Structure formats: structure tokens, C-alpha cells
Structure 1
Amino acid sequence: MPRYIVERTFPGGLDLPTNEAGDRLCRQIVDTNAEEGVTWVQSFVSLDRIHTFCVYDAPTPEAIREVARRNKLPVDGITEVSVLDPYFYLGIGHAGAEAKKPSRLRAPWLPFSYLVA
């Protein structure tokens, strides 16, 4: 399934309460998304709460736009992305220390569709 970053602007700031009302709203959004095969993975919110950058798995950008419309959420842009792993080379540990044996390339993240074709 393709992965996308969805950029949104909330001119008055994102208002998502951290209580039962916020929980209900998130569940409603997730349920509506599921109707189009869209999964909200996570979101990043700017400190002023005006901009969000949301990670979605979805069949198409159009599916994301449709659920955004139904959820009454703005969409400034949708960009299909892939993962760039900073530990792309084998032999480099998470602390950045090189291993004693030579590094060899590891295939970058591939969409699941490549694996089942």
C-alpha cells in the first residue's frame, strides 16, 4: 500500500481535546478512513498547532481527499513517500559505530506490492 504525507493548515490552530470528546472524534475519523481503505498512521503538529504533517497508508491520493472531505479536514498537499533509513548500510550500528567486517548494501524499504508481485 502506498504511503503519503498529508499537509494541513488549521488557521485557528488544531483543537483536539485530550478527553473523551477527542477520543470519539479520532475514532470517528479512523472509522470513516477505513471505508475507503485509508489508514492514519501518525501526525506531527507544529508548535503553534497551525500545521500538521500526517502519515497515511492509502490506495490513492483521491481516497485521502475523499475521507478528508467527509471528516471535514483541510488538505494542502499530498505527497507519496518511501522510507529512507539512516542505517541503510549493514555494518553501521544504531550508535553509528562501524562494524569490523565490511559493509554491504541492504535493499531500501520496498512497498509490499513489490513483494507479492
Structure 2
Amino acid sequence: MPVFMIERRYADDLELSVDEVDGVNRINADEGVEWLYSFLSADKRKTYCLYEAPSAEAIRRAAVRAGLPADVIVEMTAMVRPDGTTAPL
């Protein structure tokens, strides 16, 4: 399944409750999207999230349904390791 990096910008600090995260995960499952993990900026107003999804459009649909921004969605095809080698995702 394709892997995508999503940049999200929030107007306020991001603080999700367990119930909110559960709701996001249920919506994602409905759209065939799996949230792998996210990095949160120091000011808690931007995240970089890694997802598996059938398409960028599936991520956009899930984001709209969850009320989350999805400012930039980029498909990832490989990773670069610290030794300079690459590996497909």
C-alpha cells in the first residue's frame, strides 16, 4: 500500500483526547487509511504524519470527515538511511 507524508497546520495548539484519536482512527478505517505515526512541532501547531492509504484522495476524505487539516500530502516511495542506502517503502 502506498505511504504518504501529510503536513498539517493548526490554528491552535494540538491536544487530542483518547476519544478524539479513536474517532479519527474509525474514520480512517472507513476510508481504508492507516495512521502510522506523527511528529509534533515544538509549538504544537504543526504535525508531520505518516500514513498508509490507497490514495491521497482517501487521506483528504478522511481529513475532511475528521475535521483535520491536510495542507500538504506527498507520496513517499523510498527511505534513505543514515549510511546513504535507500530502501523502498
* Same fold by TM-score greater than 0.5: yes
Structure 2's unaligned 5+ residue stretches are: none
| 1:41-95 per-position Cα deviation (integer Å, ceiling 9, x unaligned) | 0000001001110000101000000000000001110011122122455xxxxxx
Is residue 84 of structure 1 aligned with residue 80 of structure 2? yes
SS at match of 2:87: coil
Larger relative contact order, structure 1 or 2 (CA cutoff 8 Å, min sep 6): 2
Give structure 1 regions of 4+ aligned residues with deviation exceeding 6 angstroms. none
Alignment partner, residue 7 of structure 1: 7
Q: Computing the radius of gyration over CA atoms, which structure comes out larger, 1 or 2? A: 1
RMSD of aligned C-alpha atoms?
1.4
Is residue 56 of structure 1 aligned with residue 34 of structure 2? no
Letter in 2 for 1:7: E
Alignment partner, residue 24 of structure 1: 19
TM-score normalized by structure 1? 0.69
More strand by share: 2
TM-score normalized by structure 2? 0.89
Q: Percent identity?
A: 38
By how many angstroms is 1:110 displaced? 2.7
Aligned residues: 88
Q: 1:12, 1:68 → 2: CA distance?
A: 17
